[in-house]
A = this chain, B = another copy of it.
Amino acid sequence: YLSCDPYLRSRMSGNDEPSHVPDFVQGEVLTTLGVSKVVESGHQDYKPGDLVWGMTGCEEYTLITDLQSHFKINHPELPLSYYTGVLGMPGLTAYVGFFDVAKPKKGEYVFVSAASGAVGQLVGQLAKISGCYVVGSAGSDEKVNLLKTKFGFDDAFNYKKEQDLDATLKRCFPEGIDIYFENVGGAMLDAVLLNMRLHGRVSVCGLISQYNLEQSEGVRNLFCIITKRIRMEGFIVTDHYGSYRKFEEEMAGYLKEGKITYVEDVAEGIESFPTALIGLFYGRNIGKQLVVVARE
């Protein structure tokens, strides 16, 4: 299974800014996170048949030489594809971005954008488990319906149908927002800043609305950061890989107990990878986008 994630876009930007992941190199095999079965191994800790997840080539067979960011799969009784999502990088992203960065308290008001995506759907459910009130935004009525019926969000809206995001947020959060889990950026962030509560927190995970623009949209309401004493903090999940095992056990438990549910959008065959990746930026996927290279 290969994972399609928005951050891959930044590996094609070709600018010389220090980025969190190295650019793709033309002519070389693209890499992405994936789930693999060991076929042959020259490493004492790995033997044929072992299941692992980590950075892999977008190819049917790949040679893994750097095992620093690979993890053995401890719960093969759960769907293996989950290790591209709820039990892999997006799952840990939701977990550390919500608990470690946003530091939620019971009863707080939480807003999640791109809420039906790989990370968003989990943030919403973790927020509900934590006793928060949760609203999500998404880009279609079908996704909004998913948020309300399948993921247990308290409310949700289709941002493409809203004329005035500030008014929408005031309707959904008459008391204001304590935590914004930021996946999109741009106009949504500007509207959120106007609606944050005192001492609110913005956990900045992604800004997908901006990745395909020549120049980012400007965010104008930063003065609210002062008046509302807002903490806005970015994070990168790879800094938190040390928490992975603790997370994996906790999340596997939630999945088995039915406390968390996960929706995937599965594209068939390695040849579907480019289309599936591009689709993320048009919101074509419903749930976590992944590609099946081969089934067990």
Q: Indicate if A99 sits at the interface (CB-CB under 8 A).
A: no
Number of residues of chain A lying within 8 A (CB) of chain B: 36
Q: Indicate if A226 sits at the interface (CB-CB under 8 A).
A: yes
Within the assembled complex, what's the spacing in Å between the Cα atoms of A136 and B194? 31
Q: Choose from B217, B221, B225, B227 the contact partner of A233 (Cβ within 8 Å).
A: B225
Within the assembled complex, what's the spacing in Å between the Cα atoms of A140 and B293? 63
**Which residues of chain A in 192-221 are interfacial with respect to chain B, using CB atoms and an 8 Å cutoff?**
194, 204-207, 210, 215-221
Within the assembled complex, what's the spacing in Å between the Cα atoms of A210 and B19? 29
Q: Choose from B17, B205, B220 the contact partner of A227 (Cβ within 8 Å).
A: B17
Q: Measured between C-beta atoms, what is the minimum distance from A19 to chain B in Å? A: 6
Q: Which of A76-84, A113-121, A234-242, A248-256 contacts B (4 or more CB under 8 A)?
A: A234-242
Contacts of A216 in B (CB 8 A): 220-223
Supplied contacts A210-B223, A229-B233, 10 more A-B pairs, CB within 8 Å: A20-B226, A189-B222, A206-B226, A207-B222, A207-B226, A218-B220, A225-B232, A229-B234, A229-B235, A231-B234
A residues with CB within 8 A of B:
10, 17-20, 185, 189, 194, 204-207, 210, 215-236, 239
